[in-house]
Structure 1
Amino acid sequence: MPNFIDRRLNPKDKSLGNRQRFLKRAREELKRAIKEQVKSGKIADVDADHNVSMPARGVSEPTFQPAGDTGERKYVLPGNREFAAGDRLPKRASGGGATGAGAGTGRSEDEFQFVLSREEVLDLFFEDLELPDMVKLNLKESVAFKRRRAGFAATGSPTNINVGRTMRNSFGRRIALHRPGRKEMEAIAAEIARLEAEPKASTKDQQRLGELREALEKLERRRRRIPYVDPVDIRFNRFEPQPLPNASAVMFCLMDVSASMGEREKDLAKRFFVLLHLFLKRRYDRIDIVFIRHTDEAGEVDENTFFYSKQSGGTIVSTALEEMLRVIRERYPAREWNIYAAQASDGENISGDSERCASLLHDDLMRLCQYYAYVEIIDERETEIFGTTDNGTSLWRAYRTVDGEWPNFQMTRIAKPADIYPVFRKLFGKQPAVQAR
């Protein structure tokens, strides 16, 4: 009896249930395989092609087969040496055998492999993650504006008066309304002065003098009625906001490199930084990375120096925040860049400096950053001691005040590599929709 497999394409505006279930099963298997590879390998390897093994059960499709324990069938078995015509054969027991039985003992399951491209891997890896809703600047959406000249307007701020356009309008209006000119009035005034200066003026001169005085008075009245600059002449420079695609981001990596930060702590910090960079790289066209390391002094360095160069000294965390603020003001204005920051530390800080750090975050940095993540790296033996978020070092307690006031600030603790991905999901997980009551 033939087997029927439904391979029809989805009709327009409809969905075939079995095909949708197949796609869902395959996607879940792919996500599971990617998570297993990331868990067992390096996070930096996520940004590459992957060979994925997938069990055959994950791609099984519905088929039509005859029931093994009912009905009648007639077929020929070549090479039969046990049965003759008329013998009654026992029916096959219900239930199929194992798929892909191996050559050895026990059962095995067939698998097949295929290659996922880098983009497909990242699509699966970040499928259920999203930038925080409360502070994100949507990718390639118009969220920043630049003032652009857009002609002239009859109203506006006095600081935007366009003198050239205003005087041009005034000149045209005075010509159209025949406003008396200064030279014309000065000529009449000079003629009046000459006639008045004559000792013996004739009757004709007296009559001429009266006409000139009357004409001068009319010109003065007309000149007063037609002002030199009228409010209708004034023009202002008009500006309109021009939307700018805000698809650029800068990622600040801050890390304590004092003696208390060993290779284990630096390795955990690097894994978190790499994961954050991969995540932001999928959201923005351009990503700049700024590495700032600090002991009792802070400075901007390259990546190799940031992770591998050794430096001795105490720990003053505020120097790193001050250096970050300086770099932002010099190179990354907040109106043009999406600013993200990730700080890794073991919580050590000089006495009295933690309050300074909280003040810098409250007053300056949190107003500029889209998101600020603080990761405190602790020893695995301290996990139970610092199980709650209320206790900890002075730096942790100071940052708790920032966490309570700014929604774009998040803080957490990690102790081993297995903690990084759950922490990352916690920091950047999709926010649940708020249900209206």
Structure 2
Amino acid sequence: MTHFIDRRLNPKGRSTGNRRRFIGRIKAHVREAVDASVRKRGITDMEAGTDVAVPRDSLSEPSFHHATKGGTREGVLPGNREYRAGDEIPRPPPGGGGAGRKGAPDGEGEDDFVFALSRDEFLDIFFEDLELPDLVKRSLAGSAVRRPRRAGLSVTGAPANLNVGRTMRRAMGRRIALRRPSDAHLDDLRDRLFALEAVFEPDAAQRAEMARLQAELEAATAHRKRVPYLDPLDLRYSHFEPQPEPRAQAVMFCLMDVSASMGAREKDLAKRFFVLLHLFLTRRYETVDLVFIRHTHLASEVDEQTFFYSRESGGTMVSTALAEMNRVQSERYPASEWNIYAAQASDGDNYQGDSRDCQIWLESELLKICQHFAYVEIIGEAEARILRDAARGTELWMAYREVAERWPNFAMRRVAGSADIYPVFRDLFARRREVAHG
């Protein structure tokens, strides 16, 4: 067995990088722990970190060893007093923790390796591969980000910004203008002078030519020294100036049904969905506005605290929320400058005939300006076993289903329990893969 020992020091500040590489190795176990944690925790604990248990088998390191000669090799390790070559070793008893490890008296093996994910690590994995679709409209309005842009050349600058191409072009022009002797010219003079010096008994003409070549070579060499190959006057640096960068502006409208038909269970599931949405947007984007709209038979824009914690109740008229969204968008978020998104949660119960009005609001106004509209319908666990066919459902679900068939930017899903929230959320906001066309 040959062992390779890595004795490289771990420089100060490298622990974060090492931790990221470690998490990358056990990504599957981390993902399972994050998914399981979301189903169990409450709304207020949604963004906290979590513990991850990793089986010890997943932590084994690769090793180098000598190949056996002639294929399989049999043998008995030193210190063995029980077995001989050819004997079959019995399987370790259950709970032994694997070969070579003795199980605990109570039948439990070695504990899994457990480590804690920080809040930032948890959220990064939690929202991995999620994005707002079709985020394309960009504007300079309110842009706080300034990035360097090329702004010509400068005679001064940092060495890293040296423009080699322009510098060498100027140096070449200067050398040509000052008639700096080239390497080829000097080599030619030396070769001719060497040929004359090789003559055993040069005549007077050859000696005169040698003197002329020697003087010309000395003059050319002196002139070459006076005209350097690269002069500080030749240096040119790329110049950069900070300029405002257009950035994507987006607004997310959160529409939640808080009518009497939404019981405590339904409201809790709706809040869980919107908490995930709020965390996702604030974590991944800097320039996303959130507009909270609650509705019963009336709809109104509210602040975040009221949206999540107010106990208002009443009748149900879903179209009022869509009308309120259209009003706020028209007044504050012009479609030419803003990427507009919406997410709606309801139990599907609606005033008779109002579902048709919802359909009209969506198709005539909202879906024409929305990048993406997501509808989540909260159903009972008993209904989930019955409504497996997406063609069946409430009047609102049926009306929205017709909308989804005609508008690709409209998506709808059903949620029956807390375990469905995260998968549905990922399904609605998963990163779309671009398809290359030949």
Deviations 1:234-263 (A, max 9, x none): xxxxxxxx9963344322221122111111
Q: Distance in 2 between matches of 1:102 and 1:33?
A: 26
Q: What is the SS of the residue equivalent to 2:114? A: strand
CA drift of 1:376 comes to 0.9
Once residues 76 and 312 of structure 2 are traced to their aligned partners in structure 1, the CA distance between those partners, rounded to angstroms, is 84
One-letter code aligned to 2:74 = T
How many residues are aligned here? Answer: 315
> Counterparts of 2:77 and 2:269 in 1: how far apart (Å)?
65
What is the letter of the counterpart of residue 53 of structure 2?
Answer: S
SS of corresponding position for 1:376:
strand
Residue number in structure 2 paired with 1:143: 138
Residue 393 of structure 1 aligns with which residue?
394
Query: Deviation of residue 269 (structure 1)?
Result: 0.3
Quote the Cα distance in structure 1 between the aligned partners of 2:307 and 2:290.
Answer: 12
- Bigger shift: residues 53-62 or 108-117: 108-117
**Counterpart for residue 177 of structure 2:** none
- 1:101, distance to aligned residue in structure 2 (A): 4.2
Q: CA-to-partner distance for each residue in 1:45-66, whole Å, 9 max, x for gaps?
A: 3423333332222221123579
Change in Cα spacing, 1:109 to 1:65, as seen in structure 2 (3 Å) is farther
CA contact (8 A) 1:266 1:307 kept: no
The normalised TM-score by structure 2 is 0.62
Alpha-carbon RMSD = 3.6
How many angstroms does 1:266 deviate by? 0.4
Q: Give 3-state SS (helix, strand or coil) of 1:108's partner.
A: coil
Q: Is the partner of 1:370 in helix, strand or coil?
A: strand
Q: Report the counterpart of residue 35 of structure 2 in structure 1.
A: 35
Residues 138 and 248 of structure 2 are in contact (CA less than 8 Å); yes or no, is this contact kept in structure 1?
A: no
Determine the structure 1 residue equivalent to 2:370. Answer: 369
Summarize the alignment of residues 335-346 of structure 1 with structure 2, pairs less than 5 Å apart: 335-346=336-347
Amino acid at match of 1:358: Q
Shift of 1:422: 1.8
Separation in 2 of the partners of 1:42 and 1:354? Answer: 33
Higher CA-based Rg: 1
- In structure 2, the partner of 1:183 is none
CA contact (8 A) 2:138 2:337 kept: no
Deviation at 1:381, TM superposition (A): 1.1
Task: Report what 1:116 is aligned to.
Answer: 117
1:110–1:336 distance in 2 versus 1, CA, 3 Å:
same
Whether the 8 Å CA contact 2:38–2:422 is kept in 1: the answer is: no
Asked whether 1:294 is paired with 2:295, we answer: yes
How many angstroms does 1:90 deviate by? 3.8
Deviates more, 1:417-426 or 1:266-275: 417-426
Does structure 1 conserve the Cα–Cα contact (< 8 Å) formed by 2:259 and 2:316? Answer: yes
**2:266 alignment partner in structure 1:** 265
Task: Describe the SS at the equivalent of 2:52.
Answer: strand
Aligned to 1:172: none
Name stretches of at least 5 consecutive residues in structure 1 with no aligned partner.
Answer: 10-20, 78-82, 147-241
In structure 1, the residue corresponding to 2:251 is in which secondary structure? strand
Q: 1:372 to 1:379 in 2, by over 3 A?
A: same
Given that residues 295 and 314 in structure 1 are in contact (C-alpha distance below 8 angstroms), is that contact kept between their aligned partners in structure 2? yes
Q: Secondary structure at the match of 1:387?
A: coil
1:402 aligns with 2:406: no
User: CA distance change for structure 1 residues 99 and 427 in 2, over 3 Å: closer, same or farther?
Assistant: farther
Q: Distance in 1 between matches of 2:101 and 2:139?
A: 59
TM-score (norm 1): 0.62
Asked if the contact 1:345–1:376 (Cα under 8 Å) also holds between the matched residues in 2, the reply is yes
In the alignment, the residues of structure 2 paired with residue 390 and residue 400 of structure 1 have an alpha-carbon distance, to the nearest angstrom, of: 8
Deviations 1:399-431 (A, max 9, x none): 122212222111111111111122122212343
Which amino acid in 2 is paired with 1:70? E
Say if 2:254 and 2:290, in contact at 8 Å, map to a contact too: yes
Q: Which amino acid aligns with 1:40?
A: K
Counterpart Cα distance in 2 of 1:308 and 1:265: 14
Query: Which whole-Å CA distance do the structure 1 matches of 2:78 and 2:309 have between them?
Result: 76
> 1:44-193 alignment to 2 at 5 Å?
45-64=45-64, 70-71=74-75, 90=84, 98=99, 101-132=102-133, 135-137=134-136, 143-144=138-139
Matched AA of 2:396: L
Does residue 309 (structure 1) correspond to residue 313 (structure 2)? The answer is: no
Q: CA deviation at 1:23?
A: 7.2
After superposition, residues 211-230 of structure 1 pair within 5 angstroms as none
In structure 1, distance between residues paired with 2:279 and 2:110: 35
Secondary structure class of the residue paired with 2:294:
strand
Does 1:424 find its partner at 2:438? no
Asked whether the 8 Å contact 2:23–2:30 carries over to 1, the reply is no
Q: SS of 1:383's equivalent?
A: helix
Instruction: Give the whole-Å Cα distance in 2 for the aligned partners of 1:410 and 1:101.
Output: 54
Do the aligned residues in 2 keep the contact of 1:49 with 1:115 (CA within 8 Å)? yes
Question: 1:344-375 CA deviation, whole Å, 9 max, x = no partner?
Answer: 11111112221211111112211222221111
What is the identity percentage for the equivalent residue pairs of Structure 1 and Structure 2?
55
Structure 2 counterpart of 1:41, one-letter code: R
Change (3 A) 1:2 1:343: same
Query: Structure 1 counterpart of 2:341, which letter?
Result: Y
User: Structure 2 vs 1, CA of residues 255 and 22 (structure 1 numbering), >3 Å: closer, same or farther?
Assistant: closer
The secondary structure found in structure 2 opposite 1:411 is: strand
Instruction: Spell out, residue by residue over 1:219-248, the C-alpha distance to the aligned partner (whole angstroms, 9 max, x if none).
Output: xxxxxxxxxxxxxxxxxxxxxxx9963344
Question: What residue in structure 2 maps to residue 158 of structure 1?
Answer: none
Q: 1:296 to 1:435 in 2, by over 3 A?
A: same
The letter of the residue matching 2:138 is V
Contact 1:246–1:336 (8 Å) recurs in 2: no
CA contact (8 A) 1:54 1:112 kept: yes
CA distance in 2 between counterparts of 1:112 and 1:343 reads 41
CA distance in 2, matches of 1:301, 1:118: 28
* Structure 2 Cα separation of the partners of residues 73 and 355 of structure 1: 80
Moved more, 27-36 or 41-50: 41-50
How many Å apart are 1:264 and its aligned residue? Answer: 0.5
Counterparts of residues 320-335 of structure 1 (less than 5 Å): 320-335=321-336
Matched, 1:383 2:384: yes
